Structure formats: C-alpha cells, structure tokens
Amino acid sequence: RHADRYLKPPQEMARLFSRYPEAVARTMDIVKRCRFSLDDLAYQYPDEVSVPGQTPQQALEALTWEAAARTYPEGIPDEVHKSLNHELSLIGRMNYAPYFLTVNSIVRYARSQDILCQGRGSAANSAVCYVLGITAIDPARNSLLFERFVSEERGEPPDIDVDFEHARREQVIQWVYEHYGRDRAALTAVVIRYRAKGALRDVGKVMGLPEDLIRTLSGQIWGWGRKLDDEALNETGIDLSDRRIRLTLDLARCLIGVPRHLSQHPGGFVLTHDRLDELVPIEPASMEQRQIIEWDKDDIDVLKFM
C-alpha cells in the first residue's frame, strides 16, 4: 500500500510488530553492522583501447598527431605543435585520454553515417579536439586558453558537448548503448522540480477543486514562474479567502522547488568499465530502448563520474 511507504517512528514500528518484539530489537543490530559511504563507490572509466598493445594515452597521441598532419598538410605550425604537446601532457597526467577517445569514437561514428555533429562549449579551447575534428574552431587562431577547458588546479573532469542533428540523434544514442553495452552505459537523469503552475495544478486536483477553477487560477501564472502572486490571482474574481482555495495556494507555495519526478538527460551518458548497476540504480526510460541512472549531472559531478 502506497500510504504505508514512509519512514515510521520507532513507536509506530513497535506497534506494528507488537507480536514480534525481538524482530524490532534486531533492527539495531543490523544497523550497527551496516557501513556505507559514497567514497566506497570506486568508479572506473572504460579502457578505450583502440589498438592492442597501446595504452589509451598512446592511442590518443597517435591519433592526434596523425590528425594534426592532415589538418596542417603544409606542416604543423610551431605554436600548434607546442599546444598539442602541452595538452597531451596534461591529459596524460589527469588520466583523461580514455574520455577523449570515447568522444572521438562517437564523432567518428556519426560522421561515418553522415550524421551532422559539432562540438561546442569550452572544448573549443582544445587543439586536440580541433585536429581530431570534434570541434571546428582553431584555438591557435583565436588565442583560446586550454586551461579554461581542462585545468590541473580545478581537477574537474572534462566535459565535451557534442550536438547531433535532431532527426538522427537517437541513432547515435543507440550506437553508444550497443558499442559499450547496456550493462555499462546509461543516460543521466534530470530532476524535474515543481514550478508555480504545476504545483497549483497538482495540489488543486488533490484538494478536489473543479478543473475549470484550477485552469483559471493557473492561467494567471505566466511562463516558468516560481511565485504565486495574490494580486494577479485576485484579478480572476475568485474568493481567495475561501478555506479550501487558501489551503490550496499555501500548499502549492510549499511545493515550489520540490522534486516532482525524474526525467532523462537529452544525451548525457555515464559509461563504466564494470557493471553500472553495481554503482547506481538503473531504470528503464519512458522512451523505448533507453535506460537511465537515478542520479542527475550534479550527483555524478560530485562522484567524479564521466
């Protein structure tokens, strides 16, 4: 029964299990034996070994210099050569080569299928991303600083955003699932929180307000508003002093900003070396052949997942 799904106080548990007091007492023994910390979640990124016998760093360096030679057929400029050496050295120290290889493989797949794609954001500061064809802006021409993208001081994982043409984005998503395995790949979640209009609608239904009344009240809230303005609501001519309406408005205000449900990120994947479900709960997404983890991007940032 859904109404019973809440953390009950000790007195309530003792009442419910009055015939089995020893079971209630044993719960504390179990609690004392349970030990868990988020620090215990040992995340490991996929190896991304594209050439047998090479480390990910060696593979990335080989791909980068080959791509640089194609990008600059008349010779790699000294400034670019220096930038590539600097970036590859930093990527190696931070152990980010597998991530760059992943993004490169996804972009190469998309291009092999004539799917339009383009890297954007701070990744445009990277000469490595440019010569690999992930981004289209030459950092050397625009005096862009790589440390805005990857910094040893910040210690934050890199984040390369790549846009794919909308009509064929699902093809790329399914390729990622198939290539890395559905037991090691999933989309991140997005926590949808209550805004004023949604909170008012949901509370109004629970309070049994007529649909036309709910529609009239919520119609006074514009856009993605986070406030319930009595002045605007008064313009409806509805008696806001009515006990049920006042309670509805008060409860709706309490819900604003509270999580309502989980949605799925449009394309943010988490990839792991081992089984993903050993680190985080996974659930089927509403869209067919998709699955999502139950954490959002802020959660995985804290745990340094990539």
Coil, strand or helix at 208: coil
What does the radius of gyration of the chain's CA atoms come to, in whole angstroms? 26
pLDDT value of residue 190 = 87
Express each pLDDT in 111-162 by its tens digit.
999 999 999 888 888 999 999 999 998 888 877 788 888 888 877 778 888 9
CATH for 195-257 is: 1.10.10
Ranges in the chain, pLDDT < 70:
1-2, 38, 40-42, 49-51, 222-227, 229-232, 234, 306
- So what's the pLDDT on residue 62? 93
Q: Is the pTM of this model over 0.85?
A: no
pLDDT at res. 225: 60
Task: Output the pLDDT for position 129.
Answer: 93
Residue 156 pLDDT: 76
| Per-residue CA distances from 248 to 114, 203, 207 (Å) | 53, 6, 7
SS3 content of the chain, % helix, strand, coil (to 5): 50, 15, 35
pLDDT confidence of residue 63: 94
- For the chain, what are the domain ranges? 2-35, 45-164, 195-257
Closest CA to 213 of 190, 189, 244: 244
Predicted confidence at residue 270, as pLDDT, reads 86
What is the per-residue pLDDT for 91? 92
**Residues 68 and 132 sit within 8 Å (Cβ to Cβ):** no
The C-alpha atoms of residue 97 and residue 58 are separated, in whole angstroms, by 9
Rounded distance between C-alpha atoms, residue 275 and residue 147, angstroms: 32
